Amino acid sequence: MTALRKDPFNLIIAGVGGQGNILASQLVAQAALAEGLNATIGETYGVSQRGGSVMSHVRLTAGTPVGPLIPQGEADLLIGFEPIETLQVAMDFGSPQLRVILNPRPVYPISVLSGDLAYPPMERILDLLRGHAADLSTLPATDIAREAGEIRAMNVVMVGALASAGLLPMDKESYLRVIRDQFRGRAREINQRAFETGYEALPSAHA
């Protein structure tokens, strides 16, 4: 049995509709399951296809599964697909032990595009996360995905980064096996490449 650093281990993936939160949370959960762990995923997406916030709670346990919602202040790891989404989830669910891996590319809310509100300065967001969480890494996952051949594989780049962070006990091969099971043809190739690139990219990404 694979050992967890903490039980339950609480992971949150924060992003916006269309970024592939749900696939990312499933990759992690399936990899955990393959190694004999239990996983519960709670997704909050509402009508997110239309640009709303998406938050996936992934809770890993060695024994009895737990509920789909992480209590406030109990998240151990936060994978951020979008900066202000990540900041808000960190505020609600993060503890001082929280570790954050962030793609610092903004997806602008329409209130910002319209000029009614300003997107907060990126340095301020990063400073807050750096100052209050235990650890922050940033990764230009969108650019990495573009190089891997599919800009929308950013989610899998981030899963690759998460897999190499050493916070979850699952073997790299377990994630890759899930990717091979879930995809065929070009999609399989691109997602494997995206995962590998994300996996390699994280160590140099300490912010």
Partner 1 sequence: MDPLEIDEPGRRVLLMGNEAIARGAIEAGVRYCAAYPGSPSSEILASLARTAPRFGHYAEWSTNEKVALEGACGAAYTGLRAMATMKQNGVNVASDILTAMSLAGNPGGLVLVVCDDPGGISSTNEVDTRNYARLADVPLLEPATFQEAKDMVRWAFSLSEELELICMVRSVTRISHARGVVELGPIEKVARTAVMKPEQRYGSLPPCPNHAEVKDKLRRAAEIYESSPFNRYAGPERPELLVVTCGTGWWYSTEAIRMLGVAERVGVLKLGTTWPLPEALLKRHLEGASSVLVIEESDPVLEYNLKALLSKEALRAAAPSRLLGKVTGTVRGAYGPGVGEMNPNLAADAVARALEIEAPSLPKPLRESMQAEIDFEIPKREVAFCPGCPHRASYWVMKNVLRLDGRDGLLIGDIGCYTLGFGRTGYYLSRTMHCMGSAIGFSSGMAKLAGFGFSQPTIAVVGDSTFFHACLPGLVNARYNRSPFLCVVLDNSATAMTGFQPHPGTGKTALGEEAPRLSIESLCAGMGIPVQIVDPFDVPAATRLLYRALQKNELQVVVMRHKCAVLQGREEGLPARRVWVDAEKCIGEQCGCNRFCSAAFGCPALIWDKEKECAAIDEVICSRCGLCAELCPGGAIRITEEEVQP
Tell me how far, at minimum, the Cβ of 188 lies from partner 1, in Å.
16
140 touches partner 1 (CB under 8 A): no
Contact residue for partner 1 among 63, 92, 123, 200 (CB under 8 A): 92
Site string for partner 1, 11-40 (x = CB under 8 A): -----x-x------xx--xx--x----xxx
Smallest CA-to-CA distance from 99 within 123, 69, 75 is with 75
86 touches partner 1 (CB under 8 A): no
137 touches partner 1 (CB under 8 A): no
Q: Can you state the angle between helices 122-132 and 83-93, rounded to 10 degrees?
A: 30
- Residue 66 tokens read as 């737990």
- How many Cβ atoms from other residues are within 10 Å of residue 30's Cβ? 18
Nearer to partner 1, 91 or 200 (CB): 91
Q: Which residues contact 142 (CB under 8 A, 6 or more apart)?
A: 103, 105, 151, 154
117 touches partner 1 (CB under 8 A): yes
Interior angle at CA 139, CA 18 and CA 178, nearest 5: 60
62 touches partner 1 (CB under 8 A): no
Cα 124 to Cα 106: distance, rounded to the nearest angstrom: 13
Report whether 102 contacts 139 (CB < 8 A): yes
Tell me how far, at minimum, the Cβ of 132 lies from partner 1, in Å.
5
2 touches partner 1 (CB under 8 A): no
3-state helix/strand/coil string of 102-113:
ECCCCCCCHHHH
Considering only the stretches 60-68, 155-163, 166-174, 197-205, report the one whose residues sit in contact with partner 1 under the rule CB under 8 A.
60-68
Q: What are the residues binding partner 1 (CB under 8 A)?
A: 16, 18, 25-26, 29-30, 33, 38-53, 65-74, 84-85, 87-88, 90-96, 98, 107-115, 117-121, 124, 128, 131-133, 142, 149-152
